[in-house]
A and B are shown apart, each in its own frame.
Chain A
Amino acid sequence: GQQVMQIPQYQHVQEGEDFTTYCNSSTTLSNIQWYKQRPGGHPVFLIQLVKSGEVKKQKRLTFQFGEAKKNSSLHITATQTTDVGTYFCGVNYGQNFVFGPGTRLSVLP
């Protein structure tokens, strides 16, 4: 069946360290979206990737879509306490949109 996985499940970093979360699909994707959910909050759309090998940057965040369009990564450079939250990838499988299980990021000051 179609599955989307995210690793790691949890990540604890010291403020200033880098962080990366990976999203992997069992099938080729048309696009991938990334969302961030702060503790107690709702998911907020970050970015959408469409093209094979695409790389997009938002300040300290770098998003990459794999060449085979089956995986993606979100990298945060020099984390800050404001980066705390759960990062979800979301993918379309036909008419269905599925969220990954998320990576929960903790940043220690």
Chain B
Amino acid sequence: GAVVSQHPSWVICKSGTSVKIECRSLDFQATTMFWYRQFPKQSLMLMATSNEGSKATYEQGVEKDKFLINHASLTLSTLTVTSAHPEDSSFYICSATFSHSNQPQHFGDGTRLSIL
């Protein structure tokens, strides 16, 4: 149980392109979803916390107009990297949990984004 699907797993695109990443909880309803960014050999850096039906809470330093998050249902959250540039290239990974705190996070497989 507690399977999270993330799509696409790999994206290569030109600078200026907007990229949409989907995160789905397949067998449970996710009250909260988290979006992380991970650079090689580094820890996961939380970008934003997304609760179904409400606006995402962004971490300090993360541009909300650059990284658009939509959590339209209890099983789907999307992250859109708008007008992506090479410096946005990274590993983006989502996680979902039954509630906001004190519950294990179940991670998607991640999306490797490469901007040329």
Residues of A participating in the B interface, judged by any CB pair closer than 8 Å? 30-31, 33, 35, 41-45, 48, 88, 90, 92, 95-102, 104
Whether the pair B101, A48 counts as a contact (CB closer than 8 A) is: no
Enumerate chain B residues within 8 angstroms of A92, measured Cβ to Cβ. Answer: 101-102
Contact count band on B: 10 to 19
Whether the pair A33, B104 counts as a contact (CB closer than 8 A) is: yes
- Nearest 5 CB-CB pairs, A to B? A45-B104, A42-B107, A101-B43, A99-B44, A43-B107
Whether the pair A42, B109 counts as a contact (CB closer than 8 A) is: yes
B46 contact from A31, A45, A48, A98, Cβ within 8 A:
A98
Residues of B participating in the A interface, judged by any CB pair closer than 8 Å? 34, 41-44, 46, 93, 95, 100-102, 104-110
Interface of A is mostly: strand
Enumerate chain B residues within 8 angstroms of A104, measured Cβ to Cβ. Answer: 41
Interface of B is mostly: loop
B100 contact from A42, A48, A95, A100, Cβ within 8 A:
A95
Enumerate chain A residues within 8 angstroms of B110, measured Cβ to Cβ. Answer: 42
CB distance from A46 to the nearest CB of B (A): 9
Given A43-B44, A97-B34, A104-B41, are A30 and B102 also a contact pair (CB < 8 Å)?
Answer: yes
Whether the pair B108, A42 counts as a contact (CB closer than 8 A) is: yes
A-B contact pairs, 8 of them (CB 8 A): A43-B105, A43-B107, A45-B106, A48-B104, A97-B105, A98-B46, A99-B43, A101-B42
- Residue ID in chain B nearest A6 by CB atoms: B43
Give bound CA distance, A88 to B36, whole Å. 14
Enumerate chain A residues within 8 angstroms of B106, measured Cβ to Cβ. Answer: 45
Whether the pair B104, A97 counts as a contact (CB closer than 8 A) is: no
Give bound CA distance, A48 to B102, whole Å. 9
- Residue ID in chain B nearest A33 by CB atoms: B104
Give bound CA distance, A48 to B46, whole Å. 20
Whether the pair B105, A45 counts as a contact (CB closer than 8 A) is: yes
